[in-house]
Amino acid sequence: LISRLRDDGVAVVLSTHDLDEAQHLADHIVIIDRGVAVAAGTPDDLLRLESGDEVRFGAQPGLDTGELTRRLGVEVSEIERGEYVMAAAGSPRLVADLTSALADWDVALADLRAGRKRLDDVFLRLTGEASAAATGTSPGEETT
């Protein structure tokens, strides 16, 4: 219905947390954090704020990211407990090397996502940084 209205030239204001939906339906997006607009533009404009490819994977927490970085030739960071990211294209060689390293360590791969960053990544970075500035914490740091 929303797509049809948009295609008919009707202006639609949609408030959603489903950024995949917003990315596919919207011509213009405003990201709001705590009542303040922190970014606005077309989906492509906002995606350019988080340029580049990445590989994310889930595995047991506390992997030796230094050794994994050495083996893969690309920096591996644990961004949350058991969630890892590499700023690299998900080439077949990189994915094969990753799964080989995890197999050598008898570590199960919980999930794997490779490709361009998504609007969710832009939202989390912008609202995480804005929220951190408002609360005096680091992005990703929990407050009580």
Q: How many domains does the chain have?
A: 2
- Specify if 17 maps to a domain: yes
Whether the predicted pLDDT of 67 surpasses 90: yes
Q: Which residues pair with 57 in a beta bridge?
A: 84, 112
- Considering the domain architecture, whether residues 62 and 87 belong to the same structural domain is answered as yes
What is the model's pTM? Answer: 0.56
Q: What is the pLDDT of residue 3?
A: 83
Is the domain of 58 the same as that of 104?
yes
**How confident is the model over 18-64, as pLDDT tens digits?**
888 888 888 899 999 999 999 999 988 888 777 678 899 999 999 99
Q: Which of 123, 121, 119, 116 is nearest to 26 (CA)?
A: 119
The answer to whether 52 touches 87, Cβ cutoff 8 Å, is yes
Angle between helices 65-72 and 92-104 (to 10 degrees): 140
* 134: in domain: no
Answer yes or no: is 111 within a domain: yes
Instruction: Please give the pLDDT value at position 144.
Output: 44
Looking at the structure, do residues 61 and 22 belong to the same domain, yes or no?
no
| pLDDT tens-digit map of 79-93 | 999 999 998 888 999
Least confident piece of the model among 6-15, 73-82, 86-95, 107-116: 6-15
Percent of the chain with pLDDT over 90: 43
DSSP conformation class of 14: -
pLDDT at 110: 96
Mean pLDDT, all residues of the chain: 85
Q: Tell me: do 79 and 103 sit in the same domain.
A: yes
Q: What residue numbers bound the domain in which 21 lies?
A: 2-49
